[in-house]
């Protein structure tokens, strides 16, 4: 009789534990919605970077060597360099130009500035609207990174010469090519070529 009572108590305990386990809601139930993914929508900057990479295959090669290369930051710097160089060229400021230009570009600018000074002409430049800069091409050859920037600008040039004063408003479209050594610790880019571009 005592054994039957013990077996009955043990059976009751086992059944209670089975009920407790089988009766719980474990995991996601069929009537519950799946948990949302953590990742959010892509930002506008991410989309712009992806589009730039797709259009310019050379950009992927550049980023492979310089992972922190940012198109927006680079173009902002290129636009600032453009304005600085154009103003320095008009003013004949050789000291401002030399750190920004390659030797060949500096030689061409020097020739033009010397000719202007020989004629007794002076110039000042102002930008009618902020210049627009777009990345036109990117490439890496050996350890040299190269980026071509299409720059559209509206400028007003005021010139003074023995013949009198003149004002010239014009639109310009140019391709400026910048280079930098990927082995150098200097992050600055140098202007190595200036060419005409379709407006």
Contacts 24+ apart (CB under 8 A), 170-176: 171/199, 173/197, 173/198, 173/199, 174/150, 175/136, 175/148, 175/149, 175/150, 175/151, 176/78, 176/82, 176/148, 176/149, 176/151
Domain boundaries, the chain: 47-196
Instruction: Tell me which fold the domain 47-196 belongs to.
Output: Nuclear Transport Factor 2; Chain: A, (3.10.450)
- Tell me whether residue 3 is exposed, middle or buried, using C-beta atoms within 10 angstroms of its C-beta: 0 to 12, 13 to 18, 19 or more: exposed
> Residue 196 pairs with which residues in a beta bridge?
174
Q: Note the pLDDT of residue 35.
A: 33
For the chain, the average pLDDT equals 80
pLDDT at 22 over 90: no
The model's pTM is 0.72
């Amino acid at each position: 009789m005592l054994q039957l009572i013990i077996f009955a108590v043990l059976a009751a305990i086992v059944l209670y534990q089975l009920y407790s386990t089988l009766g719980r809601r474990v995991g996601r139930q069929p009537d519950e919605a799946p948990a949302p993914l953590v990742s959010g929508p892509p930002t506008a900057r991410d989309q712009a970077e992806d589009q730039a990479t797709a259009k310019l295959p050379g950009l992927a090669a550049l980023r492979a060597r310089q992972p922190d290369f940012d198109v927006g930051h680079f173009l902002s710097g290129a636009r600032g360099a453009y304005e600085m160089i154009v103003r320095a060229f008009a003013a004949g400021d050789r000291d401002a130009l030399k750190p920004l230009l390659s030797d060949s570009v500096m030689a061409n600018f020097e020739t033009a500035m010397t000719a202007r000074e020989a004629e007794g002409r002076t110039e000042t430049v102002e930008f009618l609207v902020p210049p627009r800069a777009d990345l036109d091409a990117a490439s890496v050859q050996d350890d040299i990174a190269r980026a071509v920037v299409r720059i559209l600008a509206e400028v007003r040039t005021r010139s003074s010469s023995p013949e009198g004063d003149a004002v010239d408003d014009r639109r310009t479209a140019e391709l400026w090519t910048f280079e930098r050594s990927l082995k150098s610790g200097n992050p600055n880019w140098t202007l190595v070529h200036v060419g005409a571009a379709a407006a």
